[in-house]
Structure 1
Amino acid sequence: MRVRHNSPALPLLHVLALLRIAAADTCTTIAVNTTIEVATPLALTYVTEQQDYWSTSCAALRPSCIIFPRTAAEVSTVLSVLHANNEPFAVKSGGHNPNNLWSSVAGGPVLSTQRMDGVSVEPATGVITIGPGNRLDEVAAKLQGSGWTFVGGRIGHTGVGGLVVGGGLSYLSAQYGWAASCVLAFDVVLANGTVTRALATENPDLFVALKGGGNNFGVVTAYVVQGYQQDLVLGGNLVFARSSAETSRRILKAVRDFTEHNADNRAAVIVTAERTNLDLVDSWILFLFYDGPEAPPGTFDNFTSIGPTLNTVRTRTYADLLAFSNWVIVPGSVVTIGTETVPLPSAANAEEVMEGIHAHWRNVSGSVLDVPGLVASIAYQPFPRQIARAARAKGPDLIDADDDADRLIIEMNYSFVPQSEYGRMADTMEATYTGVRELVAGWQAEGVLQSNLYLPILMSYGFFRQDYFARLKPESAELAREVASRVDPDGMFRDRTGGWKP
């Protein structure tokens, strides 16, 4: 792959490259030699931005400064300076990934894309250009009234950058594929400061690698995506206040059946069980979505017929729904997220598999109910073959899911207050997702679940101890490695930033 240089570096870069002032730190070099905004630890903008992570464990890592570029040219300047030294660094979009060092760093600079928050739409075509500094609820609000929407995630406070390069599961995925599937072009700055563009006909390998490859190839400064027409939507929550055995059985059956039998690609659900410290709360919270003001009769009957304690599902704007979803964020907490992808069990084996996974989660989460501020949750998210089919129709990506099988994406979360409990809770998270994987392997060996099924994990939900690239198809992982070595031959992103590395 030959990377085309679409934009020259700034004249300042030639000076810096000649000087090779590696002895000076990036923060000082940028502050003294450029007009790019640099916030030091005593500045209010530093404090505000540093607190703006989903997990307090990320906020506890103190960068040497936070740099706020506004343009691709300014990002080029920052990366060129970093390329001339050996400092660790991080790039931050929304800071929603709770893995330490993924968008946070101790002792080096954070490059925050917050100031790169433009959103524009071409009214005739629905082509939308989105800056990486946006969160999903901000994009939806800016598109409100245009008649167009974008394929993003489900929680409004999620940052666009991390979501898209991680693939991105959406309420709209059965219609349009992953969030990354809808990208027409990435504007990206490479490790050496080169500003370029990746699309299907220009830098095509880089284009594919950025769709599910994470932060290994450069800093994306704009996402050009295909938007889709949308009016009002139906969405909200069903809350079941107490998690009885019968309620759990019926809900687990309902989500399995929905995954296999729902034929309306405009409908989507997330089925979540939650319990808190000392089991003061032990409930089910379901997310229902329909891409239209009303769902056809019967669409969600298997869920609503169970008899929720509270039903907030109503017709609203997409922007309102994304903003409404932000209640799921637990401020002031350490957050850990892990995931597994499992084959969808047949109706005959549904009870054994679904209730077996759920019993395992309850057993492991029950061992840490003494942890102050604990909120433990498990989410069962349909991954029907139609999502893979829709993604494949839009071109290749690193996830490359087969479209001949239905799956479930299991997301496991633990949030808690004392950072001193991080080690214990990391082990608990590992025990949770590892136990699910072992159960699945056992059922596959017994013929209860389909064997030899490709089961990639979703990057957005992965725990740092999981090996994301090892779960991809070998050819996808090899493509990521090859592209990374070509666009970043010195391994700047590989060796000096966090995240999964191919």
Structure 2
Amino acid sequence: MAFSIASILLGSSLILQVASSALPTSSRCCNLLDAEFRGGEKVVFPQTTEYGVLNTYFAPTSQQTPSCIFSPADTFDVSRAIKLFTRHSCKFAIRSGGHHYNAGWASINNGILISLSNLNKVIYNPTSKSVFIGSGNRWRKVYDTVEPHNVTVVGAQNSDVGVGGFLVNGGVSYLADRYGWAVDNVRDFEVVVADGRVLHANKDENKDLFRALKGGSSNFGVVTGFTLDTVKSNPVTNLYVTYPESSYDVLIDEAHQYFVKEEDVDSQVLFVFSLYFKDGVASNNYAAVLVYTDVMDLTNPPKVFTPFLDGEVPSSGVYVSGANKTLGSHGHQLAGVQHSGGRTTRQTVSIFPDAQLLKQFNKIWIKTAEEYKKIEGLKVDLLFQRIGKQWIAAGNAKGGNSMGLTKPVVILWVQPHWTSARDDEAVAELTTKVITRFEKAAKDAGKLSDFEYLNYAGPKQSLMSGYGTESIRRLQSVKAMYDPKNVFGTLLPGGPKVPGLY
């Protein structure tokens, strides 16, 4: 959406002006923090075993070198730290699970890393049908806590993803068509704001902050805990169907029909295409992941999946990767497949559903990747799925969020994998080039959406500007109330930022 940043800036007094020469060194900030907590185990420094354990990430491409790492034991520790950071202009980063691939979003060089891993309570309340989740958890513990009670949560597809970053950036879930974004299912946020106050944001308290935190990322404070709705734990089935390259066009035609019809709220189809290079020679793999979030008879699959299974789209094989199991068991299985430690990155683009454009994207993706085929161990994935009317409506029914989506879109993301750090720059160039060419093709076709899903976005994308003018103005207003000096825009340098304040 086009709007004037200058007009939004008029009258804003949110920009924190701090001369760089006045900032204390990060080592001094670490010493001040260590003194605040009287030494001990909460502040650890480089060249210690604890530092190495805490400074680990799913992808080494996102790892940086903080001057020290702070591990608060509870929300009040976070409050004390934020007061100190604000008072002494100390730069910091916040890490929940460390699963995002962008360096600087949950990591920092020459600053303080707040590791939330000790904020790991998960408390199920059967009376209120809710669960309190400390933001340092991963979804594995959440699923394992609630699912023995025949309930689950609208959580991540991969159990090893951290709770905090996943939720404040939106949260894609297999249950989203029925319940909306994962963050739409938050009842209450426990959050430490810029002046160190510990607040609760919900439909009754701090209502403006409540909505802003639904997709507003880390712009308003450190979220230390979430209270989520629980939902009925229906059986979930996951089918992985592969297709030869010759089936691509008809596969996309059926994908488009699935996107626009939205017949079954219990279904979700994710398309996963991979391009492998070995000795400069490419090979393709095309697949559809068919997920059904209710009881499924494998001998008589739901009608919505028929085109992908009955030979109308010629397939190479159908694999059952989980039949009528819990959502958590699928998350655990995916976590076992998606191993940490490999070099990877992502960038995203969203379009309004269009079959011809998706066919064009396939040619762009392959042609661009071929330009980089000599990169060691290169594999380039192209994935896409629908965010449809049912998904958007479910979120609106729960009070809405900050992401500004009003029309169905298809979100796509390009995710390369490679072997060596020496190729990091070249792979970043490849990823940007693919997305730039996608954007041009979509814009030329009149099908480009400004929306960018934060958890799939690259570090230099427009990010939250795609939320739209109304949402951005609302976010700016909330910033003025809860972070008037823009602490979480300047002292927290990484991650998505509210447009118009920088």
Matches of 2:270 and 2:135, distance apart in 1: 26
Structure 2 counterpart of 1:10: none
2:415 to 413, 416, 419: 413
1:88 to 1:374, Cα distance in 2 relative to 1, 3 A: farther
Q: Does 2:309 correspond to 1:300?
A: no
Q: CA deviation at 1:75?
A: 0.8
Contact kept? 1:253, 1:354, Cα under 8 Å: no
Contact kept? 1:156, 1:322, Cα under 8 Å: yes
Q: Does 2:481 correspond to 1:486?
A: yes
Q: What does 1:198-277 align with in structure 2 at a 5 Å threshold? A: 198-240=201-243, 243-244=244-245, 246-277=246-277
Matches of 1:104 and 1:188, distance apart in 2: 20
- Name the SS for the 2:81 alignment partner: helix
**What number of residue pairs does the alignment pair up?**
463
Matches of 2:482 and 2:217, distance apart in 1: 14
Contact kept? 1:39, 1:66, Cα under 8 Å: yes
Structure 1 counterpart of 2:112: 109
Matches of 2:439 and 2:495, distance apart in 1: 22
Q: Does 2:397 correspond to 1:388?
A: no
Q: What does 1:125-144 align with in structure 2 at a 5 Å threshold? A: 125-144=128-147
The farther-off stretch of 417-426 and 217-226 is 417-426
Q: What does 1:48-447 align with in structure 2 at a 5 Å threshold? A: 48-51=53-56, 53-59=57-63, 61-240=64-243, 243-244=244-245, 246-278=246-278, 279=281, 281-294=283-296, 296-305=301-310, 306-313=314-321, 314-327=323-336, 329-345=338-354, 350=355, 352-402=356-406, 405-444=407-446
The farther-off stretch of 301-310 and 203-212 is 301-310
Matches of 1:292 and 1:442, distance apart in 2: 40
Q: What does 1:28-67 align with in structure 2 at a 5 Å threshold? A: 28-34=31-37, 37-51=42-56, 53-59=57-63, 61-67=64-70
Structure 2 counterpart of 1:463: 458
1:148 to 1:42, Cα distance in 2 relative to 1, 3 A: same
Q: CA deviation at 1:429?
A: 1.4
Q: Does 2:490 correspond to 1:495?
A: yes
Q: Deviations over 1:234-260 (max 9, x none)?
A: 1253344xx52x222233223222222
One-letter amino acid matched to 1:87: C
The farther-off stretch of 291-300 and 412-421 is 291-300
One-letter amino acid matched to 1:378: L
Q: Deviations over 1:154-210 (max 9, x none)?
A: 222211111111111211111011111111110000122111111122111111111
Q: Deviations over 1:263-289 (max 9, x none)?
A: 111111211101223356521243221
Matches of 1:184 and 1:131, distance apart in 2: 14
1:331 to 1:183, Cα distance in 2 relative to 1, 3 A: closer
Matches of 1:280 and 1:48, distance apart in 2: 38
- Name the SS for the 2:480 alignment partner: helix
- Name the SS for the 1:312 alignment partner: strand
Matches of 1:101 and 1:328, distance apart in 2: 26
Matches of 1:281 and 1:223, distance apart in 2: 44
Q: CA deviation at 1:327?
A: 4.5
Structure 2 counterpart of 1:17: none
1:66 to 1:310, Cα distance in 2 relative to 1, 3 A: farther
4+ residue stretches of structure 1 with deviation over 4 A?
21-24
Contact kept? 1:185, 1:198, Cα under 8 Å: yes
Structure 2 counterpart of 1:8: none
One-letter amino acid matched to 2:418: F
One-letter amino acid matched to 1:247: S
* Unaligned 5+ runs, structure 1: 1-20
- Name the SS for the 2:113 alignment partner: strand
Q: Deviations over 1:276-328 (max 9, x none)?
A: 23356521243221112316532322222333435034222221100111255
Answer 1 or 2: higher relative contact order, Cα 8 Å, separation at least 6: 2
| Percent identity (aligned) | 24
Q: C-alpha root-mean-square deviation of aligned residues, in Å?
A: 2.1
* Unaligned 5+ runs, structure 2: 1-22
Q: CA deviation at 1:88?
A: 2.1
Contact kept? 1:30, 1:36, Cα under 8 Å: no
Contact kept? 2:262, 2:390, Cα under 8 Å: no
Q: CA deviation at 1:36?
A: 6.0
Q: CA deviation at 1:340?
A: 1.0
One-letter amino acid matched to 2:241: L
One-letter amino acid matched to 1:494: G
- Name the SS for the 2:304 alignment partner: coil
Matches of 2:77 and 2:131, distance apart in 1: 22
Structure 2 counterpart of 1:5: none
Contact kept? 1:22, 1:84, Cα under 8 Å: no
> Which TM-score applies when normalising by structure 1?
0.87
One-letter amino acid matched to 1:148: V
Q: Deviations over 1:344-402 (max 9, x none)?
A: 12xxxx2x222111111111122222211222111121122111111111112111311
One-letter amino acid matched to 2:456: Y
The farther-off stretch of 140-149 and 27-36 is 27-36
Matches of 1:426 and 1:433, distance apart in 2: 11
Contact kept? 1:90, 1:111, Cα under 8 Å: yes
Q: CA deviation at 1:39?
A: 2.3
